[in-house]
C-alpha cells in the first residue's frame, strides 16, 4: 500500500506522517531519544538534512538498519523533490510517498 502526502521544505518526515494519519511510532515524542521513528529512505536521501551524531547513535538501536535508514524526527526536507520512505516497523511492503510543494 502506498500513501501520498504533501510536504514543505522544513517539514520533517515524522511531522508529515502525523499530519496525514500515518502511524509512525515516536515513543520519545520526536526528540531523537529513541529509534521508533526509524524509516528507510528509498528515494530522495540527498534532499534531507545531514545526519548528526545523536541520530546515528539512536539508529544503532533500530531493527532492520540499512545504509539509507534515518529517524523521521530528524529528517528535514531541504529541497523540492519527491521523497519515498518505507516504515519497516509496520510492513516492509508499505512505502509512503511525500510530494513537495503544498500544505498539509
Mean pLDDT per 10-residue section of the chain, whose length is 104 residues: 88 95 93 96 96 97 94 96 84 47 45
State the pLDDT at residue 92: 46
Nearest partner of 18 among 93, 87, 69, judged by Cα:
87
pTM of the model: 0.83
Based on DSSP, count helices (H) and strands (E) in the chain, helices before strands. 2, 5
Instruction: Supply the DSSP symbol for 21.
Output: T
H or E segment and range at residue 19 = helix 13-19
Does the domain at 2-100 match CATH 3.30.530.20? Answer given as: no
Q: What pLDDT shows up at residue 48?
A: 97
Amino acid at each position: 500500500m502506498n500513501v501520498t502526502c504533501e510536504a514543505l521544505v522544513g517539514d520533517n518526515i515524522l511531522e508529515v506522517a502525523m499530519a496525514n494519519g500515518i502511524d509512525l511510532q515516536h515513543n520519545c515524542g520526536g526528540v531523537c531519544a529513541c529509534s521508533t521513528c526509524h524509516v528507510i529512505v528509498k528515494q530522495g536521501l540527498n534532499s534531507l538534512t545531514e545526519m548528526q551524531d545523536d541520530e546515528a547513535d539512536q539508529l544503532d538501536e533500530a531493527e532492520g538498519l540499512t545504509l539509507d535508514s534515518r529517524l523521521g524526527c530528524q529528517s528535514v526536507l531541504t529541497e523540492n523533490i519527491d521523497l519515498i520512505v518505507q516504515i519497516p516497523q509496520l510492513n516492509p511492503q508499505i512505502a509512503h510517498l511525500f510530494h513537495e510543494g503544498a500544505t498539509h
